[in-house]
Copies of this chain bind each other. A is one copy, B any other.
């Protein structure tokens, strides 16, 4: 369920390009790489649970991880979907002893794992590590605030349109094509929708020139999509 491995070259190459590590001095980078452990998980494996005591934070190398909470009836709601390069539980570095949500591999996943305490200590010494943490937190905070605003302002088709425009990378083409990086059910959770609602949103976007075939989405008129 959770194979811990030595850091191999391929994983290392991914890891050092990650936002968290990309801008460090060679000194800090070296010390962080010394303390990293890599672990793999199968789809649906649980990485940790809400309220469980927290010793590590993670950086996703490949695959996607779902962060979610449960209400008393056992209904799940996704809070965040973490993909390659994203850090998770980084907010525990300076506050909190326990994880604040459940984390589950949405598919086979490799993660870099750091001991919170050791990174804390390193950040006390090395300014660039503190700065890297600030940047991770900032990015994460901004996207989470966007999420609140979108949840409160947008209907299902608008969220999907917004997501597609985001994915196809702000190029000013008339048409575009997007390949979803994960299952539709995961996208539904990310957007705060039930899978059925996502499906209906896609079909309501057909009139705006959106064609869905499996994971591949064709957008015939980008500017029309912006009007939704």
Interface residues of A (CB under 8 A from B): 69-71, 75, 77-80, 91, 93-96, 100-101, 124, 127, 130-131, 133-135, 137-142, 144-149, 151-154, 192
In the A-B complex, list the 7 residue pairs whose CB atoms are closest, starting with the nearest: A77-B152, A137-B137, A71-B153, A130-B130, A69-B149, A141-B141, A144-B144
CA gap between A75 and B138 in the complex, in Å: 27
A134 proximity list for chain B (CB < 8 A): 93-94, 130, 133-134, 137
Question: Could you tell me the distance between the alpha carbons of A70 and B149 in the complex, rounded to whole angstroms?
Answer: 9
Residues of B within 8 A of A100 (CB): 142, 145-146
How far, in Å, is A84 (CB) from chain B's closest CB?
20
CB nearest neighbor in B for A226: B72
A70 proximity list for chain B (CB < 8 A): 153
Chain B residues in 8 Å Cβ range of A147: 148
Please tell me if the beta carbons of B153 and A91 are within 8 angstroms of each other in the complex. Answer: no
A146 to chain B, nearest CB (A): 8
- Please give the count of copies of this chain that the complex contains: 2
Residues on B with C-beta less than 8 A from A79 are: 145, 148-149, 152
Q: In the complex where A144-B144, A148-B148 touch, is A94 in contact with B153 (Cβ < 8 A)? A: no
Contact across chains for B152 and A192 when beta carbons are under 8 A apart? yes
A179 and B96 CA atoms in complex are apart in Å by: 28
Which of A70, A75, A78, A153: most chain B CB closer than 10 A?
A153
A144 touches which of B148, B152, B192 (Cβ 8 Å): B148
Q: Which of B78, B101, B124, B137 contacts A141 (CB 8 A)?
A: B137
- Which residues of B lie under 8 Å from residue A153 when comparing CB positions? 69-71, 75, 77
**Distance between A88 CB and nearest chain B CB, rounded to angstroms:** 11
Residues of chain B contacted by A124 (CB below 8 angstroms):
127
**Chain B residues, Cβ within 8 Å of A141:** 91, 137, 140-141, 144
How many Å from the CB of A49 to the closest CB on chain B? 14
CA distance A133 to B192 in the complex (A): 30
When distances are taken between beta carbons in the complex, the residues of chain B under 8 Å from A151 are 148, 151-152, 192
* Residues of B with C-beta under 8 A to A154: 71
